[in-house]
Amino acid sequence: MYSHVNMSAPAFLLLFNLLSALLPAQKPATTFPVPSGVPNQLFYLQRDPNTNTVIYQLNVDRAGRLNEDEPVNVFWIRYDEHGERKDLNFIQRKFAYGLTAEKLAAEKYELKFAAYNKVRFFLLRSPVDKSFHVYTTLGGKQLQLERVFLRIEGGTFWVPNVKYIEFKGLNTATREPLVERITL
């Protein structure tokens, strides 16, 4: 099920792809790997022009306690480099793929993407499985987020032409798969 939400693109959104990798121009990937084996994975982000994937992972200590100061770890799985894990660089964290977390209550955080803050995201424990998940509301439906995809067609390294942002996950009311798209 698809629904569309039209919004104007703020200038900083175009930095979403900023310094994702200093790679030569590539043909966009037609299929993307699904990350597996990442403990406490909350969701992941993929975008053109390659299969490198940003992972958003619950940040817990060895005893399983949430790090309240920094509840989400963000890093790359560089599929184009043999699946190597790499940290985001400073510019990627501050202007593109990084998140900030504001504690609202016990086990409840508001998350904001560095490059796009027009959609509100919340990290909280699910009443269904008692695990932490990231939630957002789009098109009047609450979504338990699993994947974000950015469709980029042309533009430049510094100003990519982002056509849409697609959010995939579960409709929390029905537990059925749900896809919501924001056209830019």
pLDDT of residue 104: 98
Tens of pLDDT, residues 45-72: 999 889 999 999 999 999 999 999 999 9
Average pLDDT over residues 26-41: 84
Average pLDDT over residues 3-18: 43
What is d(CA 3, CA 5) in angstroms, rounded to the nearest whole number? 7
Q: Which amino acid is at 127?
A: P
Vertex 118, ends 46 and 73: CA angle to 5°?
45
Provide the 3-class DSSP secondary structure of residue 15: helix
pLDDT of residue 5: 53
pLDDT of residue 115: 85
Is the pLDDT reported for residue 164 higher than 90? yes
pLDDT of residue 1: 54
Tens of pLDDT, residues 38-50: 999 999 999 988 9
For the chain, give the mean pLDDT: 87
Q: What are phi and psi of 17, to 5 degrees?
A: -95, 5
Q: For the chain, which residues make up each domain, given as ranges? A: 2-20+41-183
pLDDT of residue 162: 87
Is the pLDDT reported for residue 157 higher than 50? yes
Q: Is the peptide bond before 10 cis (omega within 30 degrees of 0)?
A: no
pLDDT tier at 12 (50, 70, 90 boundaries)? Answer: very low
Tens of pLDDT, residues 84-139: 999 999 999 998 899 999 999 999 999 999 988 899 999 999 999 999 999 999 99
Contact 88, 97 (CB under 8 A): yes
Is the pLDDT reported for residue 4 higher than 60? no
pLDDT of residue 81: 92
pLDDT of residue 20: 39
pTM: 0.84
